[in-house]
Amino acid sequence: MKKITSSFKELSTSLITICFTVLNINKIRHFINKFTFVSVLFFVSLSSQPVLSQWSATNYSGNINSVYWDGSNLLAGTNGGSSSLFSPDNGTNWNYANNGMTQYTDIRTYASNSTYLFAGTNAGDGIYRANNNGTYSWTKVLPNVSCFSLLVNGTDIFAGTMGDGVYFSGDNDYQRQL
């Protein structure tokens, strides 16, 4: 009888172990199924079309090199032609902003501080400055350079040029080449 009881205990222990193993396997299968489902959702979301911003054209269709917001107007630097344009109504209407500039100036960049607006031009036409009050009457402050980038940092202004390095101004006028 002792042997039967012992065998019964071993059999019970084995059955309990098998049951727990089956339960654990089912838990693992359940986890794998959930993980697989979440993984499939993740990769499907990556491969679907992204949500894009809605763009619409303004009422100017010429070649534009740069756009700039001066706080009240949208400015567009053109590739020759009109040189500099401004729009007081987000591109619905455009007006010339090129008084004092060489005809057909190719505007590449704009920057401003609290006093002045600057325009960098291509083809050696230089850098122009206008009062930052919406009148856009330009004065050439650095001739004979092609300026492709402008940076304002407080009262300091930097101009990146093509072949002439970087120019610096601490007084709203370009005097020094770095």
Answer yes or no: do 40 and 110 share one domain: no
**Residues spanned by the domain of 164:** 64-177
Contacts of residue 26, Cβ cutoff 8 Å, sequence gap at least 6: none
* pLDDT band at 68; cut points 50, 70, 90: very high
Answer yes or no: do 89 and 143 share one domain: yes
- Distance (Å, rounded) from C-alpha 177 to C-alpha 168? 6
Is residue 8 predicted with pLDDT exceeding 70? no
Q: Tell me, yes or no, whether 2 lies in a domain.
A: yes
Average pLDDT of every residue of the chain: 80
* pLDDT band at 175; cut points 50, 70, 90: low
Is residue 121 predicted with pLDDT exceeding 90? yes
pLDDT, position 10: 65
The more confident residue out of 130 and 47 is: 130
Q: Into how many domains does the chain fold?
A: 2
